[in-house]
Amino acid sequence: MTQEGTRIDLLLESDKWAMALENKIWHQQNNPFTDYSRYLEKKYPDKKHLLVVLSSEGQAPTGWTGISYSMFISVLSPRLGMVYISSPLSKWQVLLREFMLHLESLMGKNTITTETETFVLENLRNIQEAVLLKNAVVKSLQEECLRFLTEHFSDRGYEVTMALNHWEGYPALRFGLSHWVSESDVVLFLDRTPGRQFEVRTYICDLTTPTLQHQARQMLISEEHNDSWSERSGSVFTVVSRLPRKLEAKHLMFQRVAKALDQLDEFELHHER
């Protein structure tokens, strides 16, 4: 503690120098740096004074040396590696490694540019209106698909269930039939990730035996499928059909969902769990 009652984060001393080290993580650099340097002058008048600020960006006030976390780690890492090779593992090495990992976590860069931040802040109202509009469109599409499916299954008296999830920010419209005992369903995944397409996914659940797993593959994989995989140790089997742009018209997507539900219903009716 200095004469003025302020505290230096870390004070190091050797035969020739004394170092005041300040670690600034998120705080503004408004510490009483003058007090710190004056303290070293009085306490160590015959030694070289090293004034260092360790921070994420390496900034420092006049008269101090700024070291960024990335610079610090780049120098320390190879030396720590040599210690691991030449010396038995000690608790100090473990602590140092954990400290370096902590610094790396603090180095997470903000990938959003200033221009982007400014644009978003200036257009928050329009962005919020766009979000509300998107949600309304997705809800309308989901309800329209429900009406289509209800009409499709009306001659059989089936009740269609629906739910809405979001995967990676994109809507996943889930549909099933209420008389199914399992959690199986069909999902219309409206994925607009660059390079991807809308998908109709069939999830066959509660496949508790190898026989059921085999039969699910035999019945549900068709010429239209593009991918398939097993989940949860084989108890869930997923079949994916991707929709090219020409099939993204609503009635065509709804037809594909209805077809997938028909196929899944056939399996559910003939394979009790």
Please write the tens of the pLDDT for every residue from 4-34. Answer: 667 889 999 999 999 999 988 765 556 788 8
CATH of domain 122-270: 3.30.1460
Residue by residue, DSSP assigns 67-115 as EEHHHHHHHHHHHHHHHHHHS---HHHHHHHHHHHHHHHHT----S-HH
* Token pair belonging to 55: 């921070």
Q: What is the pLDDT of residue 14?
A: 94
User: Which of 18-22, 107-111, 170-174, 200-204 bottoms out in mean pLDDT, i.e. has the lowest?
Assistant: 107-111
| For range 206-216, the mean pLDDT | 92
| For range 112-131, the mean pLDDT | 87
β pairing state of 17-24 and 48-55: parallel
Q: What percent of the chain has pLDDT over 70?
A: 92
Per-residue pLDDT at 55 exceeds 90: no
Q: What is the pLDDT of residue 151?
A: 98
Give the integer Cα–Cα distance in Å for 12 and 21: 8
Q: What percent of the chain has pLDDT over 90?
A: 57
Give the integer Cα–Cα distance in Å for 52 and 43: 17
Give the integer Cα–Cα distance in Å for 206 and 211: 12
| For range 115-133, the mean pLDDT | 90
Q: What is the pLDDT of residue 175?
A: 99
Where in the chain do CATH 3.30.1460 domains reside?
A: 122-270
Q: What is the pLDDT of residue 73?
A: 86
Q: What is the pLDDT of residue 26?
A: 65
In eight-state DSSP terms, residue 230 is: E
Give the integer Cα–Cα distance in Å for 74 and 103: 12
Q: Residue 83 is which amino acid?
A: V
Phi, psi of 187 (to 5 degrees): -120, 130
Q: What is the pLDDT of residue 245?
A: 83
| For range 202-228, the mean pLDDT | 91
* Token pair belonging to 225: 């499928």
In eight-state DSSP terms, residue 247 is: G
- Helix, strand or coil for residue 19? strand
Quick check: 190 and 171 in contact, CB under 8 A? yes
Per-residue pLDDT at 106 exceeds 80: no
Q: What mean pLDDT is reported for the chain?
A: 89
Please write the tens of the pLDDT for every residue from 135-171. Answer: 999 999 999 999 999 999 999 999 999 999 999 889 9
Q: State the helix-helix crossing angle for 250-270 and 210-220, rounded to 10 degrees.
A: 140
Give the pLDDT band (50/70/90) at residue 112: low
155: Cα separation from own chain's centroid: 44
Quick check: 170 and 190 in contact, CB under 8 A? yes
Per-residue pLDDT at 81 exceeds 80: no
User: Which of 45-49, 112-116, 144-148 bottoms out in mean pLDDT, i.e. has the lowest?
Assistant: 112-116
Q: What is the pLDDT of residue 12?
A: 94
Closest Cα to residue 263, out of 210, 209, 204, 205?
Answer: 204
Q: What is the pLDDT of residue 86?
A: 65
Distant-in-sequence, close-in-space partners of 207: CB < 8 Å, separation ≥ 6: 213, 216, 234, 235, 236, 237
Beta partners for residue 173, in sequence order: 164, 188
Give the pLDDT band (50/70/90) at residue 186: very high
Q: What is the pLDDT of residue 85?
A: 64
